[in-house]
Amino acid sequence: MRLIPETHFDFAGRRWFFFGLSAILALVAIGSLVFRGFNYGVDFTGGSLLQIRFAERVSVEDMRSALGAVGEGGATIQQDENGDFFIRVKPKDFGGQETFGTVLSRQLSTAFPGNTFEVLREETVGPQVSKELQGKVLLAVAIGLVGILIYVSFRFNFQFGVSAVFSLIFVTLIELGFLSITGMEITMTVIAALLTVIGYAVNDSIVVSDRIREDVRKIRKESFLQIVNRALNETLSRTVITGLSVLLVLSALLLLGAASIKDFAAIMLVGMALGTYSSVFVVANMVVEWEQRFPSKRRR
């Protein structure tokens, strides 16, 4: 199915423009990471987690108002289908022997008189555990990138493998810059979204790389640059259809989903655009530039 008619865009011919644009985006992201940093959530900074159940259902807005009264209006609040609240707050000294659970219980009794509640769970995440979690996340991403390099290099060639990994680093860097600029809280949900984005970008890169390889094998009269342009134009319709499908789903989640889902959807929306951009304007163009500088002895 072709959503758009046959096109003849000169993607590879304008590669230096897109290299420059990519460099600007990367510099903005790095600048934000250096000067603003991240807004880490409880999963990474340590803090408290409470699960609370009310006899009568309470809205998230009312719960946030109650938390604001004890100085925790920015806490992470989730509510499941049973109405139970899961509240995460960063470390804070409440003075004496009081815990966050004690302070919040007292406030909830005042804010919701006559509505009995029960603290089903109260956990504390220490800073040491949080540091170990950060290390494991970085290790997981590093192992994933190495695995992708090996797989793509084996399936295509080393040029495509290096270009694919470089594009994933670019996508991850811009996503991290987006998180830094917006001040979005870094939680395990956000990390899951980032890893999903990496998977989406890999898939897009493989589709484009596979079409380039097929065209290189069957077309002998055109230059490598012309073949890459042909491949990118041939996959453009598929790219647009896939992008629109994902866009519709993520837009629905962003507009109608719960607060925790909205962060996931926002990251995925940005990541989807970055994944498509990187597969067309980073991976393919890097392979073209590599081939221009170091021509292959034979077409694969």
CATH of the domain at 74: 3.30.70.3400
| 19 & 81 share domain | no
Listed in sequence order, the residues at least 6 apart from 254 whose beta carbon sits closer than 8 Å to its beta carbon are 262, 265, 266, 269
For residues 266 and 189, give the distance between their C-alpha atoms in angstroms, rounded to a whole number: 12
Q: Is residue 156 part of a domain?
A: yes
In the DSSP assignment, the letter for residue 295 is -
pLDDT of 27 higher than 90: yes
Q: What is the mean pLDDT of residues 246-266?
A: 81
Rounded to an integer, what is the distance from CA 215 to the centroid of its chain? 32
| 166 & 256 share domain | yes
Highest mean pLDDT among 99-108, 132-141, 176-185, 214-223: 176-185
Q: Is residue 4 part of a domain?
A: no
Strand duo 185-186 + 39-40: pairing: parallel
CA 274 to each of CA 17, 56, 278: distance values in angstroms, whole numbers, following the listed order: 16, 44, 6
Task: Find the largest Cα–Cα distance for the chain.
Answer: 82
pLDDT of 255 higher than 80: yes
| 260 & 202 share domain | yes
| pLDDT tens-place string over residues 85-131 | 888 887 766 655 677 788 888 889 988 988 888 888 887 766 555 56
Tokens matching residue 263: 């962060």
| 166 & 63 share domain | no
Neighbours of 5 (CB within 10 A): 6
Q: Is residue 177 part of a domain?
A: yes
| 138 & 221 share domain | yes
**CATH code where residue 183 lies:** 1.20.1640.10
| 286 & 207 share domain | yes
Q: Is residue 203 part of a domain?
A: yes
For residues 255 and 253, give the distance between their C-alpha atoms in angstroms, rounded to a whole number: 6
Q: pTM (2 decimals)?
A: 0.75
Among positive and negative, which fits the CA dihedral 257, 259, 263, 266? positive
| 146 & 111 share domain | no
| 105 & 155 share domain | no
| 156 & 99 share domain | no
More reliable by pLDDT, 191 or 181: 181
| 53 & 151 share domain | no
Tokens matching residue 40: 């880490």
Length of the chain: 300
Total count of domains within the chain = 2
Decide which of 107, 125, 143 is a domain's last residue: 125
Residue 164: domain span: 12-41+129-293
CA-based end-to-end distance of the chain: 28
| pLDDT tens-place string over residues 186-240 | 877 888 888 888 888 888 888 888 888 888 888 878 888 888 888 888 888 888 8
